[in-house]
Chains A and B, each alone.
Chain A
Amino acid sequence: MALPRSFGLGALLVVLAVLPAILPNDFYLDVAIRMAINAVVVIGLNLLIGYTGQISLGHAGFLGIGAYASAILTANYGWPSAAAMLAGAIGSGGLALLVARPILRLKGHYLAMATLGLGIIISIVLVNEVALTGGPDGMSVPNFSLFGFEIASEQAWYWVVAVLLLGTTWLALNLIDSPAGRALQAIHGSEIAARVAGIDTTAAKVRIFVLSAVLTSIMGSVTAHYLAFVTPTLSDFFHSIALVTMVVIGGMASIYGSLLGAVLLTALPQVLAGLEGGETVVFGLILIVTMIFLPRGLVPSLALRRLALRRRRA
């Protein structure tokens, strides 16, 4: 029932290529860029949560590390943007590697608690180290430049994130059908059974945790340069929750679900912006209702429904 991989990727390529031509103005282009940035992060997070079954309520922390590494190193120390981005990615990956073993030993709610704690600690450090980070007010970030070229316009950023999104989608689709990806899904099914089948489950979990942290950190750097300004809210608990929500609403263990989740939940606040306090209520209600009626998330639930319809017809 699954469509061939090249079909989905081709469709994504066409949509990404045509989109700037049909969007009426830069406001929509801006929303599209934010959607794409979120989508990359959410795909990485889905590999961890949806495929491997390990929840993380603190991934915005890695977003914050990437963003602030880029901001601080380029603005205060004059580093080249690419080097700062790399430093952020190494920092996030290193931290993830350091905590992965003790954290991923935990199960269920204890894992939720530990990852939540990790994210909040990072966020509080960013708020408190005012001399370095500018504290709650945030700090401005210079343009991203590479080999003398500056990425500054919305158009330029659009093509950068579009390529990143396409690349991530391709990588993720390949990963989940590779032996390593099958191993991750086996861990989700039953960790003990996976171990019995000869999978080094600890190593597999650590690898995917580090991978998703690095991916998130890179997108943090991209966000910092794109917005030209960073505040600690980028790394706070709500952002972590927003990311997990995109994974769950779109569909656990569904790459295209992650795309849809990121697109919908990035658009939602724009749609609800005029409601003054009501947007929180509506957002909360949408979460509750979706989870009650489509607990697997949009894409998997709808795919199942289509399958059931086809069976009935046959």
Chain B
Amino acid sequence: MSEFVQFMFSGVTSGAIYALAALGFALIYNASNVINFAQGEFIMLGGMAAAFFNAHGVPLMLAVPLAIAVTAIAGLLVEKLAIEPAKNADVTTLIIITIGVSLVMRGLVQIFLGKNTRPLPSFSGDAPFSALGATILPQSLWILATTLATVAALAWYFGRTRAGKAMLATSYNRLAAQLVGVNTRAVLLASFGLAAALGALGGVLVAPITGASYDSGIMLGMKGFVAATLGGLGSGMGAVAGGLLLGIVEAMTAGYLSSSYKDALPFVLILLVLFFLPNGLFGAKTTERV
């Protein structure tokens, strides 16, 4: 029993990080139909920047928001310099562009911040405590609480604010949104900034547990993509559910079956889901027009 609780908890913790990554995918996908393969690099940049600032004497409580701000600016730059100029390109071309962006980001971080894994202190100490027979790190609670608050804030943003509703309108029908006066170009730009900030948030939250390294973004990004697809691309709640589901199934597999195949599991899961539900768990059925 206590074993199960332990696995469950670690699953929900990593699931929360995947959920944040998946939300980033969903945001950009909704605003532009682009799958941003550089999303994982935003996670990496958030963690690396926070660790870098902290190592250079910036207090943690300042280093974290600073890192998120830096990453958000990077996100805006990516949209301005790489995505906007390529406007009407097709899916494959845009995929290659975002892969190019991820290579550039990874290379730059490797050059300027080095190849070593950088540590980041936990937000409130490292002393674990027990609950329900499981040992829990305080940082896990930070991850869960912050993710929960972020999801609530996003729900408020998309449901109650003009800017959020404009973003939502753009995702439903870009042309119709333009007709009622939504600046869809600004929406696209904002979606990249917001997705980068969400990724960076995940990065700074997880860095105290795993450390930050220039090549940590690839797997995280890939799993975020799996989580977003699992929930149905573009669905916000689907992304969160997909992330949590992925984290839990992964932790259970690692705990009870085999830890060496832990990283393969998300992809087996997504293949099975797509075989039977070609639009993900919560995705809308689409029809092709001729």
Contact = CB atoms under 8 A, between A and B. Distances in A.
Contacts of A102: 274-275
Contact of B278 (A106, A125, A279): A106
B271 A118 contact: yes
Contacts of B267: 116-118, 120-121, 124
A110 B263 contact: no
Interface string B94-121: 0111011111111110110001000000
A110 B233 contact: yes
B132 interface: no
Given A128-B260, A280-B110, A292 B35 contact: no
A117 B266 CA distance: 8
B107 A278 contact: yes
A110 B274 contact: yes
A267 B273 CA distance: 40
A268 B91 CA distance: 25
Given A113-B229, A295-B93, A128 B261 contact: yes
Interface stretch (A8-16, A17-25, A186-194, A224-232): A186-194
A124 B268 CA distance: 11
A59 to B, nearest CB: 14
Contact of A241 (B99, B101, B260, B261): B99
Interface in A142-159: none
Contacts of A120: 222, 264, 267
A125 B264 contact: yes
A282 B93 CA distance: 18
A118 B271 CA distance: 8
A293 B96 CA distance: 13
Contacts of B85: 292
A114 B100 contact: no
Nearest to A249: B96
A245 interface: yes
Interface stretch (A162-170, A283-291, A306-314): A283-291
Contact of A281 (B92, B108, B218, B233): B108
A288 B267 CA distance: 27
A105 interface: yes
Contacts of A281: 103-104, 107-108, 111
Interface in B212-240: 218, 222, 225-226, 229, 233
Determine the interface band of chain B, counting residues with CB < 8 A from chain A.
35 or more
Contacts of B264: 120-121, 124-125, 128
A49 interface: yes
A113 B225 contact: yes
Given A121-B264, A291-B96, A108 B103 contact: no
B92 A252 contact: yes
Interface residues of A, number: 50
Nearest to B263: A124
Contacts of B261: 124, 128
Contacts of B278: 105-107, 110
Nearest to A127: B260
Given A281-B103, A288-B104, A113 B270 contact: yes
A106 B247 CA distance: 25
Contacts of A280: 103-104, 106-107, 110
Contacts of A60: none
B263 A116 contact: no
A199 interface: no
Interface string B58-76: 0000000000000000000
Nearest to A99: B271
Given A128-B260, A287-B103, A49 B82 contact: no
Interface string B138-157: 00000000000000000000
B97 to A, nearest CB: 5
Contact of B218 (A55, A125, A237): A237
Contact of A295 (B82, B89, B108, B270): B89
Interface in A60-106: 99, 102-103, 105-106
13 contacts: A103-B275, A106-B274, A108-B91, A109-B233, A125-B264, A248-B93, A277-B107, A278-B107, A280-B106, A280-B110, A284-B100, A288-B100, A295-B89
Interface of B: 29, 35, 82, 85-86, 89-93, 95-97, 99-108, 110-111, 115, 218, 222, 225-226, 229, 233, 260-261, 263-264, 266-268, 270-271, 274-275, 278-280, 286, 288, 290
Interface of A: 49, 55, 57, 99, 102-103, 105-110, 112-114, 116-118, 120-121, 124-125, 128, 190-193, 196, 237, 241, 244-245, 248, 252, 276-288, 291-292, 295
